[in-house]
Amino acid sequence: MPTIFGSAIKRREDPRLITGSATYTDDVKLPGMTYAAFLRSPYAHAKITRVDVSAARQAPGVIAVYTGNDVKDKAVPVPCAWNVPNCELKIPHHHLLACDTVRYAGDGVAMVVAETRAQARDAVDLIDVDYDPLPAEVDPEKAAQAGAPQFHADVPNNIAFKWVVAGGDAAGAFERAEVKVQLRIVQQRLLPTAMEPRAAVASYNGGSGQLTLWVTSQNPHIHRFLCSVMLKLPEHRIRVIAPEVGGGFGSKIPAYPDEAMVSLAAMDLGRPVKWTEDRSENYKVTIHGRDHIEHVEMCGTRDGRITGLRTRVYAGLGAYASTAAPGIPTILHGLVYSGAYTIPNIEGTVYGVYTSGAPVDAYRGAGRPEAAYLVERLVDTFARAAHLDPVDVRRKNFIPKDKFPYTVATGLIYDSGNYEAALDRALEKIDYKRFREEQQAGWKDGKYRGIGLVSYIEICGLGPSQVAGAVGFGGGLYDSAIVRVYPTGMVRVYIGASPHGQGEETTFAQIVAEEFGIPVETVEIVHGDTDNTPQGWGTYGSRSTAVCGSAVKVAAERVKEKAKKIAAHLLEANEADLEWKDGKFAVKGSPQSARAFGELALAANVGWNMPPGVEPGLEATAFFDPTNFVYPFGTHICLVEVDADTGKVDVQRYIAVDDCGPQINPMIVQGQIHGGVVQGLGEALQEIAIYDESGQLLTGTMMDYAVPKASQMPHIETDHTVTPSPVNPLGVKGCGEAGTIASAAAVVNAVVDALQPFGISHIDKPLTPARVWAAIQAAKASGAGNGKGAH
């Protein structure tokens, strides 16, 4: 039988998705269902002085209208679940609906429940609210200064936390350094833009006291846990179902007030309640990503040895602390400041700052793209200041492949890596020397070509639960699987992870099919329903394959061990004398005696002839808790040409060499890389969420927020190296975020490289034509460049 592990079989999820026969939350229809719509604050910061819902209550079809004060005592404020220690974290109350103050344009003020969705929407317009507007501030650095408007009574200067990471002696390193560079980097706000907006359907059975919540979730068990807290309902009375989920990119990790409100109404009214976000609401209210202002420095020796890195970061949290928000710019950001390099002295200070924007939380990469970006921008800037080639500087500072496991200055222990091999593989795709020659020649003719390299690492496979506890993550980070074999040999696998586009219905089936030597079609992966899946911690942080996939593998091994016992019994042989070959157990040297997996499945399930002391049935449960994170890595290369007349950046080639360990399904890995790169290119070239000074979102629709279109994207050339991880039985790492983590810096490095003749040292993303052109004009005006393009 050909091996299925490592085979690029088609995704079995796709037929139902592309033929419209999948069931998303909005497809759920229940008898007697009602519809909810929210009134949301038009102001970024205001006192609510009066709310009059009387006209809305009288409107056609309206069943109920709830305000903040109506529900304040019925529910617990939305919890923040990542209490990062040692940073004096301040988490203000986030009520399900605003009671007396609104803190961003989109903050919930009231909810209408009506017989139809249109009636609910119409009635929202009839709610009369008086606001007393207050000053807003959306810039996280400005919001942290004395004199800024104050958004929460118990958070002085809006500073939610001050978190410090330090290893070695950064101050000393900078004092002694021969070469020092610094940058001010703005990591703009981004809108996650999952194709399916958020939605929730709640149904409450008054007889059994059971609440069923269908919700767009990346982690239904976390939603069950947090809804239990918010609704003051015992956890075993809550069933959370994440049916088909149309993308998340982090935005469907958090618990939002909206699903809690829908649940409260369902319990209050005794009728099911559905709410579906529209795109405008999605852009205003669903979490945003990034939003850092960073002051960063790197230092080293004249011959290119990097000796220190220092940062001061203002991380905007938005109006409230979303579920994982405090951990994103700290644990998932500051701890990876060493990148792929042996930087002995690191010091980072991160201020988490409340602003008048929508809450900011995990967005594809979550903290790590910001870290990779600042490190890789600094490496290029440092190389140029030292008059060295950026490739040589990377090579010189890589953690050598024979030093793993390697402890970096921030304290993380990298599991495995071979960074130079990935760099070499990527460089094989181009003729670097010739490119540099042509680049210089082109500069003389006003042809601005550039090359951008990024050698990234990321921290994935979150992670050991013990570490989760130590860093204040309000849950475990193990994952789980039940492998259940039916009498006919069909297999169902119930998993704690919650795939929503990652293809794990296919890859996890490949793991099991490989283990049992059975056709992949006979294995089905079940996920997303807390009533039939074991406790898990969800799909994010490129963790599902490394952690949950390993649980699947361990559970399958347990099943196989039992099958072997049964085979030995049936063959009247010693277990030690059996061998597993071609999907069968046979007595060594006696292949005609073989018992296939299907035969053993039937024997176990009917239980007619079990070995003494062995229970009937064939299933096993595994909870897999890794011993460490995994650290995928790779090198991406971007080649650009900039039209200096228009500022337009043309990405001419994009090369991605990634190492996520052994690939279960190369096609799915490639798809994940493609998707990640596209999101990173969007971030680098065109995506930005803009608020005006009063806190109004100016990019509130897809007419103004530039989600990448296929026609705007280059061909992406992918390749890989394979360096297994020692921390899980599959050796796999994770690939969902790699593309995003690498690509934004690759593009910006390339554009800055192309514009060397102008003396431009940095341009903040997104590199829209207008921004690039303005940077060129500013450089020309300041006379920074030599005009000749000397490298």
Partner 1 sequence: MIPASFEYARAGSLREVLNALAAKDGTKLVAGGHSLIPMLKFRLAQPARLLDIAHIAELRGVSEYRRGARIGAGTTYRELMESDILRERFPLIGEVCRTIGDLQVRNRGTIGGAVAHADPASDMPAVLIVLDALINVRSKRGKRAIEARDFFQGAFTTALVEDELLTDIILPPSPRGAGSAYVSFAQAASGYAIVAAAAIVARTRKTVSHVEVALTGLGDVAHRVESTRQLVGTKAEPEVLDKVAAEAAAGIEIQGDIHAPAEYRRHLTAVAVRRALDAALARAR
Check residue 448 for interaction with partner 1 (CB under 8 A): no
**Closest CB to partner 1 among 197 and 476?**
197
For residue 407, the SS3 value is strand
Q: Which of 647, 661, 675, 731 binds partner 1 (CB under 8 A)?
A: 647
| 306-327 b/e (C-beta count within 10 Å ≥ 16 → b) | bbbbbbbbbbbbbbbbbbbbbb
* Candidates 38-46, 305-313, 422-430, 694-702; binding stretch for partner 1 (CB under 8 A): 694-702
* Candidates 83-91, 330-338, 412-420, 765-773; binding stretch for partner 1 (CB under 8 A): 765-773
Q: Which of 74, 648, 653, 762 binds partner 1 (CB under 8 A)?
A: 648
Q: 297 exposed, middle or buried (CB, 10 Å; 0-12, 13-18, 19+)?
A: buried
Residue 478's region, left for phi above 0, alpha for psi from -120 to 50, else beta, is beta
Check residue 128 for interaction with partner 1 (CB under 8 A): no
- 427 φ, ψ (degrees, to nearest 5): -70, -25
Check residue 685 for interaction with partner 1 (CB under 8 A): yes
Give the shortest CB-3-to-partner 1 separation in angstroms.
Answer: 41
* Candidates 42-50, 223-231, 277-285, 618-626; binding stretch for partner 1 (CB under 8 A): 277-285
Q: Which of 389, 712, 714, 724 binds partner 1 (CB under 8 A)?
A: 712
Binders of partner 1: how many residues, by CB under 8 A? 29
What is the C-alpha radius of gyration for the chain, rounded to an integer number of angstroms?
28
Give the shortest CB-37-to-partner 1 separation in angstroms.
Answer: 8
Residues 69, 604: Cα–Cα separation, whole Å: 59
Cis peptide before 487 (omega within 30 of 0): no
Check residue 187 for interaction with partner 1 (CB under 8 A): no
Give the shortest CB-447-to-partner 1 separation in angstroms.
Answer: 16
Retrieve residue 722's tokens.
């394979």
Cβ-contact 130, 192 below 8 angstroms: no
Q: Which of 467, 690, 696, 780 binds partner 1 (CB under 8 A)?
A: 690
Q: Which of 175, 645, 650, 693 binds partner 1 (CB under 8 A)?
A: 645
Check residue 769 for interaction with partner 1 (CB under 8 A): yes
Cβ-contact 718, 656 below 8 angstroms: yes
Give the shortest CB-63-to-partner 1 separation in angstroms.
Answer: 17
Check residue 774 for interaction with partner 1 (CB under 8 A): yes
**Closest CB to partner 1 among 90 and 648?**
648
For residue 414, the SS3 value is strand
Residues 258, 37: Cα–Cα separation, whole Å: 10
Check residue 703 for interaction with partner 1 (CB under 8 A): yes
Retrieve residue 355's tokens.
């602003």
**Closest CB to partner 1 among 148 and 755?**
755
Check residue 705 for interaction with partner 1 (CB under 8 A): yes
Residues 68, 127: Cα–Cα separation, whole Å: 13
Retrieve residue 723's tokens.
């360096």
Check residue 186 for interaction with partner 1 (CB under 8 A): no
Q: Which of 768, 775, 779, 789 binds partner 1 (CB under 8 A)?
A: 768
For residue 48, the SS3 value is strand
Per-residue interface string for the shown chain with partner 1, residues 718-757, x marking contact by CB under 8 A: ----------------------------------------
Q: Which of 55, 388, 467, 702 binds partner 1 (CB under 8 A)?
A: 702
Check residue 69 for interaction with partner 1 (CB under 8 A): no
Instruction: Tell me how far CA of residue 100 lies from CA of 48, 78, 357, in angstroms.
Output: 5, 16, 18
Cβ-contact 67, 97 below 8 angstroms: yes
Check residue 686 for interaction with partner 1 (CB under 8 A): yes
Identify the residue whose tokens are 């090579």.
395
Residues 126, 83: Cα–Cα separation, whole Å: 40
Q: Which of 121, 239, 395, 396 binds partner 1 (CB under 8 A)?
A: 121
Q: Which of 250, 320, 253 is nearest to 290 (CA)?
A: 250
Check residue 535 for interaction with partner 1 (CB under 8 A): no
**Closest CB to partner 1 among 561 and 645?**
645
Identify the residue whose tokens are 């890995």.
669
* Candidates 433-441, 462-470, 639-647, 743-751; binding stretch for partner 1 (CB under 8 A): 639-647
Residues 387, 52: Cα–Cα separation, whole Å: 67
Give the shortest CB-687-to-partner 1 separation in angstroms.
Answer: 9
Q: Which residues on neighbouring strands pair with residue 491, listed in sequence order? A: 485, 523
Residues 368, 463: Cα–Cα separation, whole Å: 15
Q: At a CB cut-off of 8 Å and minimum separation 6, what does 356 contact?
A: 44, 45, 103, 104, 105, 136, 137, 138, 143, 149, 151, 319, 691, 695
**Closest CB to partner 1 among 307 and 686?**
686
Give the shortest CB-770-to-partner 1 separation in angstroms.
Answer: 5
Check residue 279 for interaction with partner 1 (CB under 8 A): yes
Check residue 150 for interaction with partner 1 (CB under 8 A): no
Check residue 778 for interaction with partner 1 (CB under 8 A): no
Residues forming contacts to partner 1 in the complex (CB under 8 A) are 117-118, 121-122, 125, 278-280, 645-648, 685-686, 690, 698-699, 702-707, 712, 768-770, 773-774
